[in-house]
Amino acid sequence: MNNTSLDFCSILKILNSEKSSDVDIKEKIQVYHYRGLCYFYNENFNNALEDFGQVENIFNGSNLECNKNYNISNINSIDVEIDKQMLVENFILMGKSYRKLLIYTTAEDYYNKALNLDDKNENIYYELGLLYIDMNDNESALKNFDKAILLNKDFIEAYHYRDSLK
């Protein structure tokens, strides 16, 4: 099977068939991730979480460089960095989905998983700030908006929310 010739629809068909074991792990991750994004942007958060959960499960069960504890064994590898970025984005989107569903503690857990992989990502701190606003924890929200701004001085949205809390 020539994996490079597969398009998104073909991979989805394969994922839903008995032949899904023939699809490369990284292709499965991409398909679930992007289908999850489609669900997320159509505000179908439960289905988004199912697909994002599949991505996490594949990372857990695979022998990609991100092992089940999400430890990156060689951060100089381009593939590992792509795996790491995909997993961080996946965790952020899971946090956002749980936040939209008002399941705040689980949202916080996923944002923290993302931070464990990338504590220099201003978007995670921004999303945590929004979460803490929803939880009426303005002190924690302020701290996270400050961290986001510290990492990106041009983060206008973080300034907006931080200033609205003062």
121 CB neighbour count, 10 Å cutoff:
19
The larger pLDDT score, comparing residue 109 to residue 27, is at 109
| Nearest CA among 64, 68, 97, 63 for reference residue 82 | 64
Give the residue extent of every domain in the chain.
3-102, 120-166
Which residue type is seen at 121?
N
How far from the centroid of its chain's Cα atoms is residue 135's Cα?
Answer: 21
Q: Is the pTM of this model over 0.75?
A: yes
pLDDT of 31 reads 84
123 has pLDDT over 90? yes
pLDDT, tens digit (0-9, with 9 covering 90-100), for 36-87:
999 999 999 999 999 999 998 888 776 544 443 444 443 334 455 557 888 9
Banded pLDDT at 27 (limits 50, 70, 90)? confident
The larger pLDDT score, comparing residue 151 to residue 27, is at 151
| Helix, strand or coil, per DSSP, at residue 112 | helix
Please list the residues that pair with 81 across neighbouring strands: none
112 has pLDDT over 50? yes
pLDDT of 18 reads 52
Q: How much is the mean pLDDT over the chain?
A: 82
